[in-house]
Amino acid sequence: MDSLFPDLHGALTMIDRRILLASAMSLAAFSAFRWLGLGSARAGEKSAQKFEIEKTPAEWRKQLSAAQYNVLREAGTERPFTSPLNNEKRKGTFACAGCDLPLFSSDTKFDSGTGWPSFYQALPNAIVEKSDRSYMMVRTETLCRRCGGHLGHVFDDGPKPTGLRYCMNGLALTFKPADGSSS
């Protein structure tokens, strides 16, 4: 009987290896999709979180400029060195451009050299953080606590006393001078 199927053992071993390799590749691809947030679990993540101020996309588009909508509502990023707030040196408060919630004191602003307004500390109860796995990296996204608008990201390479760098999109912020004059 062995003479009728001389290569049967070798053929079964090759099939077993192919099945094992295909299974491993499928598992790796599935894990990568989940890690990158490309699966269905991430698709509704932001909408599942509730915020004090909730509006329809049409209402946000009516209130915000197209560029602000892209940043605040679609997690876009403005080009570096384009925000006038990057050079803002007056005393005051930086607030959310979507809902006017105070987010950062000018006392915590510093020049990070990145081209975006940067702060080493947010005001208490101003922002929420969530994991962002876009662009093949893991970062911490910052959102306005009240309206859920995307502000930017926070990194652990900032100055003392916190060691944090809140790298914010200027389009997501407004500035309110301490002296009460217009920005």
- Catalytic residue at 167? yes
How many residues make up the chain in this entry? 183
Contact 91, 104 (CB under 8 A): no
**46: which residues sit within 8 A by CB, 6+ positions away?**
148
What are the E-state strand segments in 83-144?
A: 92-96, 102-105, 109-110, 118-119, 127-132, 139-144
Catalytic residue selected from 96, 144, 147, 167: 167
CA distances 68 to 49, 76, 173, 174, Å, are: 21, 9, 9, 11
User: If we measure between CA atoms, which residue out of 143, 159, 160 comes closest to residue 151?
Assistant: 143
CA distances 148 to 5, 38, 67, 129, Å, are: 67, 21, 17, 10
User: Annotated active-site positions, please?
Assistant: 167
